[in-house]
């Protein structure tokens, strides 16, 4: 076995350290200490001769470079084996000075806000494209179901209509009743102060039919169903149920997405009808309390001043609300990856996204119906 040793030669111009034998992870500590003592003296001109090295490895080279860095030495390596040459080229030896590092940190901080903005815009564009692709795949599954009606999962569709729609009915109508009463009460107080208390009937009724009933209902369904869809599909992904479906040649869009989307598109108009009724009931109670107008007088003026157009305006928006809630919930569910922490994070994101789309769709329809004078 080659003997590990080190020869040191001094002359007026330089110090030559000649390494001999094996210098690797098995090198004894006494040889490493001897090398460290030589370098600790910090010779002005250091040459490391590797001509007699029999074996060298990555660990020793890293150790040697750390020693040179700690003593601020920049030696000349001669007669290095090919392996050592490649390793020396792989490991960076030159480090920036403290001032240079400080300048880099300041530069990075100054550009950090632009980097974050760029990454946010890039992620937003990519997610938008992914969502459009997801919508296209869902539309394709829907057209395939229309061409082959037997592909529609009736049992799954009815289940989700009940779970996502009708089971949310108690909290939905209660919310519509409370909000309808609160808004009507504030409107009645203002109109009473202006000397036209009877106008509160048609004003708040139109508002309930066009905006409050559908909008409040959509917010409640978004918080309940969008999060539910994301969590259900996300957990299926973590437990590899989605992979199993694909292995068995079952389409996740046909079995998971389409029933949920159709369920909310069908259930939302029915729920809006009931939410409108309870919002009007809340308005009746508020006007009775604030203005003393009887229920009979309220209903009579309601029929005289409020047309069916306002009811249909709210009803037309309902399927679009249901579509947006279901699509966002399912889309975020398929994005769940890694661990259960992503389920909670993406569930929160799905609710926020669903609320945004509800507000956007509602505003868009308001502009369209205003332009059409409906």
Q: Structure tokens of 230?
A: 């994301």
Per-domain boundaries in the chain: 5-90, 152-371
Please state which of the ranges 9-18, 175-184, 265-274 shows the lowest mean pLDDT.
9-18
- pLDDT computed for residue 98 by the predictor: 46
From the list 318, 304, 309, the residue with the least C-alpha distance to 274 is: 318
Q: Structure tokens of 47?
A: 């040459």
Whether pLDDT at 17 is above 50: yes
From the list 259, 260, 275, the residue with the least C-alpha distance to 220 is: 275
288 in Cβ contact with 349 (< 8 Å): no
Q: Structure tokens of 214?
A: 């559908």
184 in Cβ contact with 263 (< 8 Å): no
CA 290 to chain centre: 46
- 157-188 pLDDT, tens digit per residue, is 999 999 888 888 889 889 989 988 888 888 88
Percent of the chain with pLDDT over 90: 20
DSSP state of 270: H
Percent of the chain with pLDDT over 70: 92
For residue 38, count CB atoms less than 10 angstroms from its CB and return exposed for 0-12, middle for 13-18, buried for 19 or more.
Answer: middle
Bridge partners (DSSP) of residue 10 are 15
Q: What is the CA radius of gyration of the chain?
A: 37
Confidence of residue 96 (pLDDT cuts 50, 70, 90): very low
Q: What is the pTM of this model?
A: 0.67
Per CATH, the number for 5-90 is 3.30.750.24
* Three-state SS annotation for 297-327: HHHHHHHHHCCHHHHHHHHHHHHHHHHHHHH
For the chain, the straight-line distance linking the first and the last C-alpha, in angstroms and rounded, comes to 97
Rounded to the nearest 5 degrees, what angle is found at the Cα of 219, between the Cα atoms of 213 and 224? 125
From the list 216, 205, 208, the residue with the least C-alpha distance to 172 is: 216
């Amino acid at each position: 076995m080659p003997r590990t040793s080190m020869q040191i030669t001094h002359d007026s111009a330089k110090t030559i350290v000649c390494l001999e034998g094996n210098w690797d992870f098995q090198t004894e500590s006494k040889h490493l200490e001897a090398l460290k003592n030589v370098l600790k003296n910090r010779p002005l001109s250091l040459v490391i001769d590797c001509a007699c090295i029999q074996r060298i490895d990555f660990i020793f080279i890293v150790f040697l470079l750390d020693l040179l860095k700690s003593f601020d030495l920049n030696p000349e390596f001669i007669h290095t084996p090919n392996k050592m040459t490649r390793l020396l080229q792989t490991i960076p030896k030159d480090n920036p000075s403290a001032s240079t590092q400080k300048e880099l940190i300041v530069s990075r901080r100054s550009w950090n806000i632009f980097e974050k903005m760029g990454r946010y815009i890039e992620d937003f564009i990519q997610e938008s494209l992914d969502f459009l692709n997801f919508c296209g795949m869902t539309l394709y599954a829907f057209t395939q179901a229309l061409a082959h009606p037997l592909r529609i999962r009736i049992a799954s569709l009815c289940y989700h209509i009940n779970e996502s729609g009708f089971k949310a009915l108690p909290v939905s109508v209660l919310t519509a009743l409370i909000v309808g009463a609160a808004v009507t009460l504030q409107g009645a107080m203002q109109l009473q102060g202006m000397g036209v208390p009877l106008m509160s009937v048609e004003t708040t009724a139109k508002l309930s039919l066009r905006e409050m009933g559908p909008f409040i209902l959509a917010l409640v369904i978004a918080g309940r169903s969008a999060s539910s869809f994301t969590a259900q599909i996300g957990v299926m992904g973590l437990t590899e149920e989605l992979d199993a479906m694909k292995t068995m040649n079952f389409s996740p869009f046909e079995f998971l997405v389409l029933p949920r989307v159709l369920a909310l598109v069908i259930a939302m108009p029915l729920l809006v009808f009931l939410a409108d009724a309870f919002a009007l009931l809340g308005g009746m109670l508020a006007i009775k309390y604030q203005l003393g107008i009887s229920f009979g007088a309220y209903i009579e003026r309601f029929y005289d001043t409020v047309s069916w157009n306002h009811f249909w305006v709210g009803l037309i928006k309902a399927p679009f609300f249901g579509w947006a809630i279901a699509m966002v919930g399912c889309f975020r569910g398929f994005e769940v990856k890694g661990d259960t922490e992503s389920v909670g994070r993406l569930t929160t994101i799905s609710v926020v996204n669903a609320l945004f789309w509800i507000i956007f769709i509602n505003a868009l329809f308001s502009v369209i119906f205003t332009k059409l004078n409906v």
